[in-house]
């Protein structure tokens, strides 16, 4: 896979050495067991795959390049480039401004943006409407476009099945930038509905089976269907694509459920499946699959707690948290400063959607076993700082030097 010029502040020689060694030993990526960093009274289990993915590195390279070659110009990002607060703050410190927030709310009026300005399209991609708006202003969106190719792959899949006459069901978070972009690209070709989860899939199935009055659909899925969607005819032939960062098991369950649902309504035999359901594989990206598989592999070991590092609005990171929470106490942190002391931690609670502080997260025992992973938009340097802080707080300060020696002298 292509390699990128990632700024030095995001790199970690330690993590790079670990990843390199694991890669050499497991070229086919079959081994999802974690890497054990053993030192002093602490055992750190580091997931086999984590951190910056192809799309994030590509976006960072393009954005930093755009800043370097446009000195003196106003530089904008349509919205957060990736869901990592540190990287976004670095871009803002270099003068880059965000036109919209992550939910599409306007932060800078369009009137103040002109064709002399530079506008960067984030890794999530953008809508066709937004591309048209930029072009109308004389700004070519593809000039500094960081849309991940794995997101474009989803758009291509939606277009393909749309042209084959299927209505596209997008499994994704309706307000997420990537899902909004995918919805826009899909509805250019075919009727499209966004569903958030299995509950919405079950609700949709009630309309496939005509168990609910058609008018109610437009209320139940308000803001999530394409203009002109005709519930009476547009749910008779469907296909599913996903936001690239959803939980693999959810995505599979939703596709299976909708497939069974439509086949049972039409009383269709297995060989007639294609008449009603586009039997495609999921459109999760490789990084989502690798990182989730690595967490599953890590969870086969025993540990006292898990630390998951990433931006709180990061979809892919939140699914790693959900997986860990099924097995052990899990703390979702954005950086090393969240490890306030050996007893107090600041972390994000996915259930209440709020940051909170908890006491007693590090057990008083020897050894302590901690699982660590991070999302696809989290720099390795940040993961290393978290590891270092964990060692410091657990009275294993010297162990960090030992770990560096073992891995960097290798
Ligand atoms: S998580 Fe996947 S789709 Fe998103 S930027 Fe990374 S590689 Fe691309």
Best mutation site among 51, 61, 123 for ligand 1 pocket (most ligand atoms within 8 Å of CB): 123
Give one DSSP letter per residue of 80-100, joined into a string: -SSS-HHHHHHHHHTT-EESB
What is the predicted pLDDT for the residue at 39?
80
Q: Which atom of ligand 1 is nearest to the CA of 316?
A: 1
CA pseudo-torsion sign 134, 138, 142, 143: negative
What is the predicted pLDDT for the residue at 269?
92
Number of Cβ within 10 Å of residue 141's Cβ equals: 19
What is the predicted pLDDT for the residue at 1?
80
Interval between CA 139 and ligand 1 midpoint (Å): 25
What is the predicted pLDDT for the residue at 227?
98
Q: How far apart, in Å, are the Cα atoms of 246 and each of 69, 280, 374? A: 35, 16, 15
Interval between CA 150 and ligand 1 midpoint (Å): 6
Give one DSSP letter per residue of 102-139, joined into a string: TTS-BSS-GGG--TTSEEEBPTT---HHHHHHHHHTT-
What is the predicted pLDDT for the residue at 271?
93
What is d(CA 352, CA 345) in angstroms, rounded to the nearest whole number? 17
Q: What is the phi/psi pair of residue 71, to 5°?
A: -60, 140
Number of Cβ within 10 Å of residue 342's Cβ equals: 15
What is d(CA 29, CA 291) in angstroms, rounded to the nearest whole number? 11
**Per-residue pLDDT tens for 20-55?**
999 999 999 999 999 999 888 899 999 999 999 999
What is d(CA 87, CA 351) in angstroms, rounded to the nearest whole number? 25
Which letter does DSSP use for residue 393 in this model?
H
Query: Strand pairing of 35-39 and 42-46?
Result: antiparallel
| 88: exposed, middle or buried (Cβ count in 10 Å: 0-12, 13-18, 19+) | buried
Q: Is 178 in contact with 153 (CB distance < 8 Å)? A: no
Interval between CA 51 and ligand 1 midpoint (Å): 11
Kindly report the protein residue whose alpha carbon is nearest to atom 2 of ligand 1: 285
Q: Which atom of ligand 1 is nearest to the CA of 59?
A: 5
Interval between CA 100 and ligand 1 midpoint (Å): 21
Q: Which atom of ligand 1 is nearest to the CA of 151?
A: 3
What is the predicted pLDDT for the residue at 25?
95
Best mutation site among 2, 49, 56, 314 for ligand 1 pocket (most ligand atoms within 8 Å of CB): 56
Best mutation site among 4, 63, 151, 315 for ligand 1 pocket (most ligand atoms within 8 Å of CB): 151
Give one DSSP letter per residue of 35-58, joined into a string: EEEEETTEEEEE-SS-S--HHHHH
What is the predicted pLDDT for the residue at 115?
96
Kindly report the protein residue whose alpha carbon is nearest to atom 8 of ligand 1: 55
What is d(CA 326, CA 262) in angstroms, rounded to the nearest whole number? 31
H/E stretch holding 396 reads none
What is the predicted pLDDT for the residue at 410?
65
Number of Cβ within 10 Å of residue 379's Cβ equals: 26
Interval between CA 341 and ligand 1 midpoint (Å): 33
Q: What is the phi/psi pair of residue 341, to 5°?
A: -155, -175
Which residues have C-beta within 8 Å of that of residue 287, sequence separation ≥ 6?
Answer: 49, 53, 54, 55, 150, 316, 376
Interval between CA 83 and ligand 1 midpoint (Å): 11
What is d(CA 295, CA 53) in angstroms, rounded to the nearest whole number? 16
Q: CA nearest 373: which of 11, 13, 19, 7?
A: 19
Q: Is 137 in contact with 113 (CB distance < 8 Å)? A: yes
What is d(CA 142, CA 160) in angstroms, rounded to the nearest whole number? 22
Q: Which residues of the chain have pLDDT under 70?
A: 410
Q: What is the phi/psi pair of residue 297, to 5°?
A: -65, -40
Q: Which atom of ligand 1 is nearest to the CA of 244?
A: 3
Which letter does DSSP use for residue 145 in this model?
B
* Binding-site residues, ligand 1, Cβ < 6 A: 53-56, 123, 148, 150-151, 244-245, 285, 287-288, 316, 376
Which member of 178, 322, 384, 388 is catalytic?
A: 178
Annotate 177-194 with b (16+ C-beta within 10 A) or e (fewer).
Answer: bbbbbbbbbbbbbbbbbb
Kindly report the protein residue whose alpha carbon is nearest to atom 4 of ligand 1: 55
Q: Which atom of ligand 1 is nearest to the CA of 150?
A: 3
**Per-residue pLDDT tens for 263-315?**
999 999 989 999 999 987 889 999 999 999 999 999 999 999 999 999 999 99
Best mutation site among 54, 310, 375 for ligand 1 pocket (most ligand atoms within 8 Å of CB): 54
What is d(CA 68, CA 65) in angstroms, rounded to the nearest whole number? 5
Active site residue 25: no
- Where does 120-213 have alpha helices with state H? 128-136, 149-163, 177-187, 198-208
Q: What is the phi/psi pair of residue 376, to 5°?
A: -75, -10
């Amino acid at each position: 896979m292509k390699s990128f010029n990632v700024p030095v502040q995001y790199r970690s020689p330690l993590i790079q050495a670990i990843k390199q060694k694991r890669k050499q030993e497991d070229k086919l990526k079959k081994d999802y067991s974690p890497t054990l960093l053993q030192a002093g009274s602490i055992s750190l289990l580091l997931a086999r795959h984590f951190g910056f993915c192809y799309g994030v590195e590509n976006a960072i390279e393009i954005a930093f390049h755009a800043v370097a070659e446009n000195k003196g110009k106003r530089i904008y990002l349509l919205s957060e480039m990736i869901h990592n607060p540190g990287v976004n703050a670095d871009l803002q410190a270099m003068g880059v401004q965000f036109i919209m927030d992550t939910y599409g709310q306007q932060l800078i009026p369009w009137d103040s943006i002109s064709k002399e300005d530079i506008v960067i399209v984030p890794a999530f991609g953008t809508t066709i409407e937004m591309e048209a708006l930029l072009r109308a202003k004389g700004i070519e969106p593809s000039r500094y476009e960081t849309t991940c190719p794995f997101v474009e792959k989803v758009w291509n899949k939606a277009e393909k099945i749309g042209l084959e006459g299927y209505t596209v069901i997008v499994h994704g978070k309706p307000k997420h930038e990537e899902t909004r972009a995918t919805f826009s690209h899909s509805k250019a070709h075919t009727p499209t509905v966004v569903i958030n989860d299995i509950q919405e899939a079950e609700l949709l199935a009630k309309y496939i089976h005509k168990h609910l009055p058609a008018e109610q659909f437009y209320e139940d899925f308000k803001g999530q269907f394409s203009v002109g969607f005709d519930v009476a005819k547009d749910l008779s032939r469907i296909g599913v694509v996903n936001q690239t960062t959803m939980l693999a098991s959810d995505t599979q369950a939703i596709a299976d459920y909708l497939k069974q649902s439509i086949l049972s309504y039409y009383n269709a035999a297995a060989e007639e499946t294609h008449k009603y359901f586009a039997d495609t594989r999921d459109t999760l990206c490789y990084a989502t699959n690798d990182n989730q598989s690595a967490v599953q592999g890590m969870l086969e070991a025993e540990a006292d707690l898990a630390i998951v590092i990433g931006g709180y609005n990061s979809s892919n990171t939140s699914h790693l948290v959900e997986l860990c929470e099924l097995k052990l106490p899990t703390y979702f942190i954005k950086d090393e400063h969240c490890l306030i002391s050996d007893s107090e931690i600041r972390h994000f609670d996915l259930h209440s959607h709020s940051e909170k502080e908890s006491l007693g997260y590090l057990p008083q025992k020897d050894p302590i076993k901690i699982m660590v992973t991070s999302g696809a938009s989290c720099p390795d340097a940040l993961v290393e700082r978290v590891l270092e802080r964990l060692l410091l707080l657990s009275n294993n300060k010297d162990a960090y030097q030992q770990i560096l020696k073992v891995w960097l002298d290798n």
